Amino acid sequence: MMTNNFIVANTIIKGEWSSVLNKLSFFECDDYDLKNAVTGIALKSESGNVNDLLRSKPVEKPEDYSFTKLYEHKKIKSLVDVFKLETTRIRIFKQEPNQKTSLHVDYNNTNSSKEEYLIRIWMALNSNKNFKYYFRDKNTSITNTICLEKGQSVIFNPDTVYHGAENNSNEVRYSLNIIAKPNEWLRYFVERKEVITI
Protein backbone atom coordinates (compact mmCIF):
# COMPACT_ATOMS: atom_id res chain seq x y z
CA MET A 1 0.00 0.00 0.00
CA MET A 2 1.39 3.38 -0.93
CA THR A 3 0.48 7.05 -0.95
CA ASN A 4 2.78 9.98 -1.55
CA ASN A 5 3.62 10.13 2.13
CA PHE A 6 3.35 6.63 3.58
CA ILE A 7 4.10 3.11 2.44
CA VAL A 8 4.13 -0.41 3.85
CA ALA A 9 7.54 -1.98 3.15
CA ASN A 10 7.79 -5.23 1.21
CA THR A 11 10.70 -6.43 3.36
CA ILE A 12 9.78 -8.41 6.47
CA ILE A 13 12.07 -8.90 9.48
CA LYS A 14 11.76 -12.32 11.08
CA GLY A 15 12.93 -12.98 14.61
CA GLU A 16 11.91 -13.84 18.15
CA TRP A 17 12.12 -11.05 20.69
CA SER A 18 9.01 -11.60 22.86
CA SER A 19 11.11 -12.94 25.76
CA VAL A 20 13.02 -9.64 25.81
CA LEU A 21 9.92 -7.45 25.52
CA ASN A 22 8.21 -9.17 28.42
CA LYS A 23 11.10 -8.28 30.75
CA LEU A 24 11.45 -4.60 29.89
CA SER A 25 10.42 -1.75 32.18
CA PHE A 26 8.46 0.84 30.23
CA PHE A 27 8.12 4.53 31.09
CA GLU A 28 5.27 7.01 30.91
CA CYS A 29 5.37 9.31 27.91
CA ASP A 30 4.21 12.88 28.56
CA ASP A 31 3.93 13.88 24.91
CA TYR A 32 0.49 15.34 24.14
CA ASP A 33 -0.37 12.62 21.64
CA LEU A 34 0.99 9.64 23.61
CA LYS A 35 0.05 10.46 27.20
CA ASN A 36 -2.14 7.75 28.74
CA ALA A 37 -2.09 5.83 25.45
CA VAL A 38 1.32 4.14 25.36
CA THR A 39 4.43 3.66 27.45
CA GLY A 40 7.92 3.45 25.99
CA ILE A 41 11.58 2.68 26.41
CA ALA A 42 14.44 4.27 24.47
CA LEU A 43 17.09 2.40 22.50
CA LYS A 44 18.56 5.71 21.34
CA SER A 45 17.95 9.10 22.93
CA GLU A 46 19.39 12.59 23.45
CA SER A 47 20.71 11.76 26.91
CA GLY A 48 21.51 8.11 26.29
CA ASN A 49 19.02 7.15 29.00
CA VAL A 50 16.28 4.54 28.49
CA ASN A 51 13.58 6.80 29.98
CA ASP A 52 14.36 9.75 27.67
CA LEU A 53 11.59 9.41 25.07
CA LEU A 54 11.18 12.92 23.68
CA ARG A 55 13.26 15.58 21.93
CA SER A 56 14.31 18.92 23.37
CA LYS A 57 15.41 20.72 20.19
CA PRO A 58 13.25 21.83 17.25
CA VAL A 59 15.58 20.07 14.79
CA GLU A 60 16.66 16.47 15.45
CA LYS A 61 20.16 15.66 14.27
CA PRO A 62 21.64 12.13 14.42
CA GLU A 63 24.87 13.37 15.99
CA ASP A 64 22.90 14.61 19.02
CA TYR A 65 21.66 11.11 19.91
CA SER A 66 23.35 8.11 21.48
CA PHE A 67 22.41 4.49 22.11
CA THR A 68 21.13 3.48 25.52
CA LYS A 69 22.19 0.44 27.55
CA LEU A 70 19.23 -1.47 26.06
CA TYR A 71 20.95 -1.43 22.67
CA GLU A 72 23.68 -3.65 24.16
CA HIS A 73 21.21 -6.54 24.43
CA LYS A 74 22.11 -9.02 21.67
CA LYS A 75 18.58 -9.46 20.28
CA ILE A 76 17.77 -5.77 20.41
CA LYS A 77 21.06 -4.82 18.76
CA SER A 78 20.59 -7.35 15.96
CA LEU A 79 17.12 -5.93 15.26
CA VAL A 80 18.18 -2.27 15.25
CA ASP A 81 21.28 -3.02 13.16
CA VAL A 82 19.09 -4.28 10.30
CA PHE A 83 18.19 -0.64 9.62
CA LYS A 84 21.16 0.88 7.77
CA LEU A 85 20.09 4.44 8.49
CA GLU A 86 21.24 7.62 10.20
CA THR A 87 18.85 7.74 13.15
CA THR A 88 17.78 10.06 15.93
CA ARG A 89 15.29 8.61 18.43
CA ILE A 90 14.68 4.85 18.50
CA ARG A 91 12.04 3.60 20.90
CA ILE A 92 9.89 0.58 21.67
CA PHE A 93 6.30 1.44 22.50
CA LYS A 94 3.90 -0.68 24.50
CA GLN A 95 0.14 -0.28 24.15
CA GLU A 96 -2.18 -2.04 26.56
CA PRO A 97 -5.52 -3.54 25.48
CA ASN A 98 -8.31 -1.03 24.78
CA GLN A 99 -5.91 1.90 24.44
CA LYS A 100 -5.85 4.30 21.51
CA THR A 101 -3.37 6.86 20.22
CA SER A 102 -5.44 9.52 18.45
CA LEU A 103 -4.61 10.68 14.94
CA HIS A 104 -1.99 13.41 15.05
CA VAL A 105 1.00 14.83 13.20
CA ASP A 106 4.47 15.52 14.58
CA TYR A 107 6.52 18.48 13.46
CA ASN A 108 9.87 16.80 12.93
CA ASN A 109 10.60 18.70 9.73
CA THR A 110 9.04 22.13 10.34
CA ASN A 111 12.37 23.81 11.09
CA SER A 112 14.56 21.43 9.10
CA SER A 113 16.49 21.94 5.89
CA LYS A 114 16.13 19.46 3.03
CA GLU A 115 19.31 17.71 4.22
CA GLU A 116 17.85 17.32 7.73
CA TYR A 117 14.54 15.83 6.57
CA LEU A 118 13.37 12.86 8.69
CA ILE A 119 10.94 10.00 8.18
CA ARG A 120 9.40 7.65 10.71
CA ILE A 121 9.28 3.87 10.70
CA TRP A 122 6.85 1.81 12.72
CA MET A 123 7.65 -1.88 12.83
CA ALA A 124 5.23 -4.34 14.44
CA LEU A 125 7.01 -6.44 17.07
CA ASN A 126 3.94 -8.64 17.47
CA SER A 127 0.68 -8.93 15.61
CA ASN A 128 -3.02 -9.40 16.12
CA LYS A 129 -5.89 -8.72 13.72
CA ASN A 130 -7.19 -6.24 16.30
CA PHE A 131 -4.01 -4.13 16.36
CA LYS A 132 -5.00 -1.20 14.13
CA TYR A 133 -2.69 1.41 12.64
CA TYR A 134 -4.31 4.53 11.19
CA PHE A 135 -2.93 6.89 8.54
CA ARG A 136 -4.51 9.88 6.83
CA ASP A 137 -2.71 12.15 4.43
CA LYS A 138 -3.15 15.83 5.27
CA ASN A 139 -4.64 16.55 1.86
CA THR A 140 -7.41 13.94 2.09
CA SER A 141 -10.29 13.00 4.37
CA ILE A 142 -9.75 9.26 3.89
CA THR A 143 -8.26 7.37 6.84
CA ASN A 144 -6.40 4.16 5.94
CA THR A 145 -6.54 1.33 8.48
CA ILE A 146 -3.60 -1.09 8.38
CA CYS A 147 -2.97 -4.34 10.25
CA LEU A 148 0.77 -5.02 10.25
CA GLU A 149 2.13 -8.55 10.47
CA LYS A 150 4.91 -9.22 12.96
CA GLY A 151 8.13 -7.87 11.45
CA GLN A 152 6.34 -5.66 8.92
CA SER A 153 7.04 -1.93 8.75
CA VAL A 154 5.29 1.20 7.60
CA ILE A 155 7.31 4.27 6.63
CA PHE A 156 5.75 7.73 6.64
CA ASN A 157 6.28 11.46 6.81
CA PRO A 158 5.29 12.40 10.39
CA ASP A 159 4.58 16.01 9.40
CA THR A 160 2.16 15.37 6.54
CA VAL A 161 0.48 12.10 7.56
CA TYR A 162 -1.88 11.95 10.50
CA HIS A 163 -1.08 8.72 12.32
CA GLY A 164 -2.41 6.80 15.28
CA ALA A 165 -2.82 3.29 16.65
CA GLU A 166 -5.44 1.33 18.55
CA ASN A 167 -5.30 -1.92 20.45
CA ASN A 168 -8.72 -3.59 20.34
CA SER A 169 -7.34 -6.96 21.45
CA ASN A 170 -6.84 -8.58 24.84
CA GLU A 171 -3.04 -8.66 24.50
CA VAL A 172 -0.32 -6.02 24.66
CA ARG A 173 0.84 -4.44 21.39
CA TYR A 174 4.56 -3.69 20.91
CA SER A 175 6.11 -1.62 18.12
CA LEU A 176 9.56 -0.37 17.20
CA ASN A 177 9.59 3.34 16.37
CA ILE A 178 12.56 4.72 14.41
CA ILE A 179 13.15 8.31 13.30
CA ALA A 180 15.74 8.50 10.54
CA LYS A 181 17.06 10.20 7.43
CA PRO A 182 15.86 8.42 4.26
CA ASN A 183 18.49 6.87 2.00
CA GLU A 184 18.97 4.30 -0.77
CA TRP A 185 18.95 1.41 1.67
CA LEU A 186 15.46 2.42 2.81
CA ARG A 187 14.23 2.51 -0.77
CA TYR A 188 15.40 -1.08 -1.27
CA PHE A 189 13.89 -2.10 2.07
CA VAL A 190 10.55 -0.77 0.87
CA GLU A 191 10.70 -2.21 -2.64
CA ARG A 192 12.29 -5.66 -2.24
CA LYS A 193 10.10 -8.63 -1.33
CA GLU A 194 12.59 -10.10 1.10
CA VAL A 195 12.65 -11.77 4.51
CA ILE A 196 15.52 -10.78 6.79
CA THR A 197 16.01 -13.34 9.55
CA ILE A 198 17.84 -12.29 12.67
Per-residue pLDDT of 143-194, as tens digits, reads 999 999 999 999 999 999 999 999 999 999 999 999 999 999 999 999 999 9
State the pLDDT at residue 164: 94
The answer to whether residues 153 and 86 touch, using CB atoms and an 8 Å cutoff, is: no
Residue 87's nearest CA partner among 68, 106, 111, 107 is: 68
Taking 50 as the pLDDT cut, the residues of the chain under it are 1-3
2 DSSP 8-state letter: B
Q: Are strands 195-197 and 12-14 parallel, antiparallel or unpaired?
A: parallel
What's the pTM value of the predicted model, to 2 decimals?
Answer: 0.94
State the pLDDT at residue 32: 61
Question: Count of H helices and E strands in the chain?
Answer: 3, 14
The answer to whether residues 23 and 17 touch, using CB atoms and an 8 Å cutoff, is: no
State the pLDDT at residue 109: 85
Determine the residue type at 96: E
State the pLDDT at residue 4: 60
Cα(21)–Cα(12) distance, integer angstroms = 19
Q: Which CATH fold would you assign to the domain 6-49+58-197?
A: Jelly Rolls (2.60.120)
Q: Is 117 helix (H, G, I), strand (E, B) or coil?
A: coil
Share of the chain above pLDDT 90, in %: 82
For 90, counting Cβ atoms within 10 Å of its Cβ (0-12 exposed, 13-18 middle, 19+ buried), the class is: buried
Determine the residue type at 6: F
The domain limits of the chain are 6-49+58-197
